[in-house]
Amino acid sequence: MERARWLSADLTDEYIIINLAGYDLWMYKNGQLDWQTDIIIGKINSKTPLFKSRISYLVVNPTWTVPRSINREIIGKIKRDPDYIEKKHFMLKESSGKAFNIDKIDWQSVNPKTFKYWFVQKPWKNNALGQVKFIFPNRHAIYLHDTPTKQLFEHTDRAFSHGCIRVKNPIVLAEKLLARNREVSIEKALNIQNDKLAKQGKQALELASKIKSKARLGGIAPLTNTALLASTDLSSIDIQPITIPKQSPVTSSTADELLTQTIAAGDTQKLYLDTPMEILIMYWTAATNNGELTFYHDVYKRDNKLIDLLKRPLVSTTRVEKESTIKL
């Protein structure tokens, strides 16, 4: 609860809470817990930070610009397998954004520490960011995103990423965020996508139909279980692990269609939210559940440090001001 006190002030009636220690994402609507899904967080050596922000837009069919910190890993794989860069649909870009010819690189002589180009992965089915990512301003370059490695969600402890947060059901999350937009905004964006698909021809329209059919069969569709209700009082939120995500139906079929058509178009596009959604990234290792205390694994080993700080004697603000005045 001490961690909640740091960041939880002034939340609106609609917001997302992420509990890193519980590997959970909760979406609140009208002050009630509307939907939940599992997440993957940063590894021990690349911890996901705690902060508060607002999701302002989605990127559909995203490219992935590889962080410099991962260059050594990528270059090592290319040295072992020269075809790796093509297999994974990477291209190279200069700092200016201009594309650079991959064939000009002698990979066996490349030093990752001095490598000046950027790896950029093109949109495709196994792009590291999947089909959609969710952008919110922050100084840590953290965002939510889809992932092709769905099998990692089968693990209990899921600290596998380089810092960003992978979402188990990103399509449902995207639909729910877009459904908050005004109908006129959704229809305007949908018309743009339909025009793109029409210009691309029959194959693109068939792809959109297949995506929609898959959604109806449960492949990427929202589940329709009864919504789980919870108090907006942070001290009483139930953060006990939930085996089966409790979800409410997506309320806008046009939002569903917009996302489906945008994915089918194939190119990288931004879909803006009329009203940004607040997001609160927290780290709760203990919480009350129906009056009982529930504990989570302290995967980042943060509790002891916080407990030590809380045990320190309080220092009077007046005393500090007086001492500062005397020193001056």
Q: Is-catalytic flag, 162?
A: no
Spatial distance between the Cα atoms of 259 and 257, rounded to a whole number of angstroms: 5
Q: How many CB atoms lie within 10 A of CB 29?
A: 16
Spatial distance between the Cα atoms of 267 and 264, rounded to a whole number of angstroms: 8
Three-state DSSP class for residue 79: helix
Catalytic residue from among 89, 145, 155, 297: 145
Q: How far is CA 5 from CA 48, 81, 83, 163, 304, in A?
A: 19, 49, 50, 23, 18
Q: Are strands 24-29 and 144-145 parallel, antiparallel or unpaired?
A: unpaired
Q: What are phi and psi of 34, to 5 degrees?
A: -95, -30
Spatial distance between the Cα atoms of 10 and 288, rounded to a whole number of angstroms: 22
Q: How many CB atoms lie within 10 A of CB 302?
A: 16
Query: What is the DSSP track for 225-260?
Result: PPPPP--S-GGG---S--SS--B---S-HHHHHHHH
Q: Is-catalytic flag, 140?
A: no
Catalytic residue from among 140, 155, 164, 297: 164
Which residues are catalytic, by number? 145, 164
